[in-house]
Amino acid sequence: MGAVFFSFNGIVAKLVLTSGLSSMRLTQVRCGGAFIILTTFVFLRYRHKLRVTKAELPMLALYGLIGFLAVQALYFVAIARLHVSIALIMEFTAPIWIVLWLRFVKKKDVPRLMWGAIFLAFSGLILIARVWQGGTLDAIGVIAALTDGIVLAAFFLLGEKLSATREVETLMVYGFGFASLGLAIVMPLWSYPTEIFSQSIDLQGRFSDYSLPGWLLIAWVIVMGTIVPYLLVVNGLKLLTASTSSVMGMAEPVIAGAFAWIWLSEKWSFIQLIGGAIVIVGIILADKARTAAH
């Protein structure tokens, strides 16, 4: 269910982005809104868990700036310039970057399976991009999506380290909090383009005859596209292994592609469909190799 909500959120976010709000401003309102709601919830139920030492603050700040600010901002840039499902597949190369980190930085043994996974994943990306045709995909969108995969890998590695000593709920609070603080410093709240909240946003595609107010779509991004799926995924992790959960997460690009096809009429060529399937197989194998490397 977490994958379903995250996938549908890509469609809603794209509607907001193509209506004039920048990716950084959407990240700002998403992080800020999620921080306020989650902090209120955790404060009322688990107040004592919010305590933090000075030694923990630098890592928590890095976690927020990388995992909650950079990941989301790059994702929004990518989906504004690429098909939602293509952007997600490129973002989900994160397990590959994690294994490369373990092999070449941590000097851990990596199963042979990993090298086959990398070959498959990047072969699939070549098919998706149709590089032999030249200029078939937006270059900035591709760079943003692949960089997002690297940043997402860093987010997982930091989260794995920090979750050993802190509750997931408080990690989310501090993550969204530091991301919101960083964005508020760079982009002051008083200069926020508040007209987006009252703007009537075209629903595009199949529903182009209809529109909704910006505040409603942004509220969906915050609540149903951020808080709800995060909580679903976290609760799922309590019952499943991280490896199983991450493989289930591979359904996200497929579900997003279905939503985008139904709603926005985003279409893939046959060769791109083959490439997407190859990338997903490569990512699944990479995740298995990651588990073995750990």
d(CA 113, CA 288): 8
Query: Which of 163, 290, 183 is closest to 234 using CA atoms?
Result: 163
d(CA 216, CA 165): 37
Asked whether residue 202 is assigned to any structural domain, the reply reads yes
| Residue 175 token pair | 């993550």
Query: Which of 23, 12, 33 is closest to 73 using CA atoms?
Result: 23
pTM: 0.84
d(CA 67, CA 65): 6
Asked whether residue 258 is assigned to any structural domain, the reply reads yes
Asked whether residue 128 is assigned to any structural domain, the reply reads yes
pLDDT above 80 for 16: yes
| Strand-strand pairing, 211-213 and 200-202 | antiparallel
Residue ranges making up the domain that contains 221: 2-289
Tell me the pLDDT tens digit for each residue of 226-285. Answer: 988 877 876 776 676 555 566 666 677 778 888 888 898 887 788 888 988 888 888 788
Q: What percent of the chain has pLDDT over 70?
A: 91
When pLDDT is averaged across residues 84-99 and rounded to a whole number, the result is 82
pLDDT of residue 27: 95
pLDDT above 60 for 185: yes
Asked whether residue 176 is assigned to any structural domain, the reply reads yes
Asked whether residue 12 is assigned to any structural domain, the reply reads yes
Number of domains composing the chain: 1
pLDDT of residue 223: 95
Tell which phi-psi region holds residue 213, choosing left (phi > 0), alpha (psi between -120 and 50) or beta.
Answer: beta
When pLDDT is averaged across residues 73-96 and rounded to a whole number, the result is 87
Asked whether residue 154 is assigned to any structural domain, the reply reads yes
Query: Which of 161, 178, 164 is closest to 70 using CA atoms?
Result: 178
pLDDT above 80 for 287: no
Asked whether residue 294 is assigned to any structural domain, the reply reads no
Q: Does residue 241 sit in helix, strand or coil?
A: coil
Asked whether residue 54 is assigned to any structural domain, the reply reads yes
| Residue 141 token pair | 């969108």
Tell me the pLDDT tens digit for each residue of 143-163. Answer: 999 999 999 888 888 887 887
In angstroms, what CA-CA distances link 283 with 29, 111, 220, 253, 291? 31, 14, 29, 12, 12
